[in-house]
Amino acid sequence: MPAPTAENLAEVLKPLLDAPRRGGVFCDIDGTLAPIVERADDAKVPEATARLLASLARRYGCVACISGRSVAEARRLVGVGGIAYAGMHGIEMLWPGATKPEMSQEVLGWADRVRGFVRANDTRELRTLRVRIEDKGPIWAYHWRGAPDENAAQARVRELAEAAEQDGFHVHWGRKVLEVRPPLPIDKGQAVRKLADHASVRSVLFGGDDVTDLDAFAALDDLVADGRLDTAVRVGLRSDEGPAEIVDQADLVVDGVDGFRTVLRTLAEG
């Protein structure tokens, strides 16, 4: 599918452009707003993108970033006030103007058990393979992007995934990352539903590039089918590492973070 023209963009985005105060602009961060980098800590949302988000927040009913990162990390990475942040795929919700995020107590109750599993399996072999472990509270993640032998690192992480499932945890794969999660419903679709209901918007756009973003696509479909939304626009970012379903299920396909920034610019300029 070729990159959209200005006319194509205007046509697909028309429901939001025509009634911005009734529109929601939701998006993933890593791989959508910020380019994927070898180390997650080095990721950065370009200043031009951050300015567009701030502009959108003044025009649209709700602007939100939905991330697998914690709310604190998502807020630091994006650096824009006046918008909502959903951290850890919706476990944490930070509403515009709030100083502290809301968190599911049921999920929080699993934090010690997930931590115990990860620490019990934190071996010298993992460190030798350069698998990095990320503590996100109730969720822990294994990253192997940039490891000297990514195939060997991934093979070891697959063994950990099997062990985690045997111990009763849920696991979720992303782009060179595995998350160990509590055995509870956790996905970006829940964050989309919370945001749409909270803001009482009728049209929502969501942009994403990875497996976890497919849950947000599905939630938009459900919200439209239930009559809670009039229109949904699913924007898929095409990449070498992303799942084919992101492109297959999208209403609009763009190339990488630059392509998505063009979408945001079109929304901002009206």
Residues tagged active-site:
28
> Closest Cα partner for 131 from 177, 175, 171, 196?
177
Q: 172 - beta bridge partners?
A: 179
| Cβ proximity of 257 and 237 under 8 Å | yes
Q: Are 183 and 170 in contact (CB under 8 A)?
A: yes
Q: What is the DSSP letter of 22?
A: G
Stated as kind and residue range, the H or E segment containing 72 is helix 71-78
| 137 burial level (CB within 10 Å; 0-12, 13-18, 19+) | middle
Query: How far, in Å, CA of 11 to CA of 254, rounded?
Result: 15
Q: Which of 67, 63, 69, 107 is nearest to 81 (CA)?
A: 63
| Contact (CB, 8 A) for 144 and 127 | no
